[in-house]
Structure 1
Amino acid sequence: MKKIFKQLLVVLCGALALSACHQKEITNISPALIQTANAITSDTLKGTIKGTLLSGKTYYFSSDITVNDGDTLLLQSGVHLIALCDGKTPATAPEIFMHGTFISLGTKDQPNYITVKNADDLHAQAAQQNYVNVFFGWWGGITCTPSAVTPTNPNPKGGDAIIKWTHIEFGGGPAGSADNQAFYATGNARYNIYFANITKNLIIEDSWFFGAKDDNIRTDGGKISIMRNTFELCGGVGGEFLNMKSGTVGDVAYNMCIGSATNSLKLSDAGSTGVQANVNMYNNTMVNGGYRQTKTGRGGAIDYEKLAKGKAFNNLFVNCRFSMRVTSDADIANVSYNNNLFYGYSTAIVGQFYTTDSYLGIPKGSSDIISTTVQTNNPLFYGYDVNQYNFTSNPGPISASLQPFVVVAMGAANFRLTAASPAIGKGNTSLLPLNTVTATGTYGATITPPGRDLGAYQSDGTGNQH
Structure 2
Amino acid sequence: MKNTILAAGLAIFALASCSDDDTEPTPVVPPVVEESVSGEVSGVWTKGGTYKITGHIQVPAGKSLTIEEGVTVLFSDSVVKPEVVVLGNLYSLGTAAAPVKFTVPDAWKTPGNQFGNLWGGLVAGPNTTELVLSNTILEYGGAVTTEESPSVKAGLYKAEAGEHVPVAYFMNINGKFIVVNSTIRNFNEDGFYIEGGKVIIANNMFYTTGVSGGDAINIKSGVQADVAFNVVYSPNTNALKLSNSGERTPQAYVVGYNNTIVNAGWRRPTTKGGSIWVESGVRADLYNNLLANDRYGIKRDAGDPEDARSVIANTFYYGADQTTTNQFQPSAEIVKGANDLISAKAGENDPKFVNYPLTTAMNNAAFNMQWDFHLQAGSPALGKGKTDFTRLYAEGLLVNGVTYKSPAPASFAGAFGTK
Shared fold (TM-score, shorter chain, > 0.5): yes
Deviation at 1:211, TM superposition (A): 1.3
1:152-182 deviations in Å (ceiling 9; x for gaps): xxxxx32211111000012211212332266
- Equivalent positions of 1:295-444 (< 5 A) are 295=270, 297-328=271-302, 329-355=304-330, 358=333, 362=335, 364-389=336-361, 403=364, 405=366, 409-435=367-393, 438-440=397-399, 443-444=402-403
State whether structure 2 residue 163 is matched by structure 1 residue 188. yes
Is the partner of 1:138 in helix, strand or coil?
Answer: coil
1:184-235 deviations in Å (ceiling 9; x for gaps): 3112211111111110111000000001111111111111000000000100
**Residue type matched to 1:321 in 2?**
R
d(CA) in 2 for partners of 1:114 and 1:182?
Answer: 20
State whether structure 2 residue 92 is matched by structure 1 residue 104. yes
Aligned CA RMSD, in angstroms, stands at 2.1
Deviation at 1:410, TM superposition (A): 4.4
Deviation at 1:355, TM superposition (A): 4.2
Whether the aligned pair in 1 keeps the contact of 2:84 and 2:121 (CA below 8 Å) is yes
Deviation at 1:372, TM superposition (A): 1.3
Gaps of 5+ in 1: 1-38, 147-156, 392-397, 462-466
1:172 to 137, 142, 167: 142
d(CA) in 2 for partners of 1:184 and 1:113?
Answer: 27
**Residue type matched to 1:294 in 2?**
P
Is the partner of 2:404 in helix, strand or coil?
Answer: coil
Structure with more relative contact order (C-alpha pairs < 8 Å, separation 6 or more): 1
User: Which residue in the other structure is 1:49 paired with?
Assistant: 41
Is the partner of 1:103 in helix, strand or coil?
Answer: strand
Whether the aligned pair in 1 keeps the contact of 2:32 and 2:49 (CA below 8 Å) is no
**Residue type matched to 1:176 in 2?**
T
**Residue type matched to 1:312 in 2?**
L
Whether the aligned pair in 2 keeps the contact of 1:184 and 1:190 (CA below 8 Å) is no
Is the partner of 2:296 in helix, strand or coil?
Answer: coil
Whether the aligned pair in 2 keeps the contact of 1:301 and 1:325 (CA below 8 Å) is yes
Deviation at 1:422, TM superposition (A): 0.2
Is the partner of 1:350 in helix, strand or coil?
Answer: helix
Larger radius of gyration: 2
State whether structure 2 residue 131 is matched by structure 1 residue 161. yes
Change beyond 3 A, Cα 1:366–1:191? closer
d(CA) in 1 for partners of 2:401 and 2:358?
Answer: 38
User: Which residue in the other structure is 2:23 paired with?
Assistant: none
TM-score by length of 1: 0.78
d(CA) in 1 for partners of 2:225 and 2:262?
Answer: 23
d(CA) in 1 for partners of 2:157 and 2:101?
Answer: 29
d(CA) in 1 for partners of 2:159 and 2:145?
Answer: 6
Whether the aligned pair in 1 keeps the contact of 2:130 and 2:399 (CA below 8 Å) is no
**Residue type matched to 2:378 in 1?**
A
**Residue type matched to 1:443 in 2?**
V
Deviation at 1:444, TM superposition (A): 2.8
User: Which residue in the other structure is 2:248 paired with?
Assistant: 273
- Equivalent positions of 1:111-190 (< 5 A) are 111-118=99-106, 121-122=108-109, 125=110, 130=111, 132-146=112-126, 157-177=127-147, 178=150, 179=152, 180=155, 183-190=158-165
User: Which residue in the other structure is 2:221 paired with?
Assistant: 246
Whether the aligned pair in 1 keeps the contact of 2:116 and 2:139 (CA below 8 Å) is no
Is the partner of 2:397 in helix, strand or coil?
Answer: coil
d(CA) in 1 for partners of 2:138 and 2:365?
Answer: 23
d(CA) in 2 for partners of 1:258 and 1:357?
Answer: 26
Gaps of 5+ in 2: 1-30
- Equivalent positions of 1:273-292 (< 5 A) are 273-292=248-267
Whether the aligned pair in 1 keeps the contact of 2:34 and 2:52 (CA below 8 Å) is no
State whether structure 2 residue 403 is matched by structure 1 residue 458. no
d(CA) in 1 for partners of 2:104 and 2:217?
Answer: 21
**Residue type matched to 2:390 in 1?**
L
State whether structure 2 residue 172 is matched by structure 1 residue 197. yes
Deviation at 1:442, TM superposition (A): 5.1
Deviation at 1:136, TM superposition (A): 4.7
Question: Percent identity at matched positions?
Answer: 30
User: Which residue in the other structure is 1:31 paired with?
Assistant: none
Deviation at 1:371, TM superposition (A): 2.1
Aligned residues: 382
Is the partner of 1:349 in helix, strand or coil?
Answer: helix
Whether the aligned pair in 2 keeps the contact of 1:41 and 1:54 (CA below 8 Å) is no
1:449 to 397, 408, 419: 408
d(CA) in 2 for partners of 1:159 and 1:219?
Answer: 13
Whether the aligned pair in 2 keeps the contact of 1:162 and 1:443 (CA below 8 Å) is no
Change beyond 3 A, Cα 1:168–1:345? same
1:6-45 deviations in Å (ceiling 9; x for gaps): xxxxxxxxxxxxxxxxxxxxxxxxxxxxxxxxx9874432
Change beyond 3 A, Cα 1:357–1:121? farther
Deviation at 1:425, TM superposition (A): 1.1
**Residue type matched to 1:137 in 2?**
N
1:70 to 62, 85, 98: 62
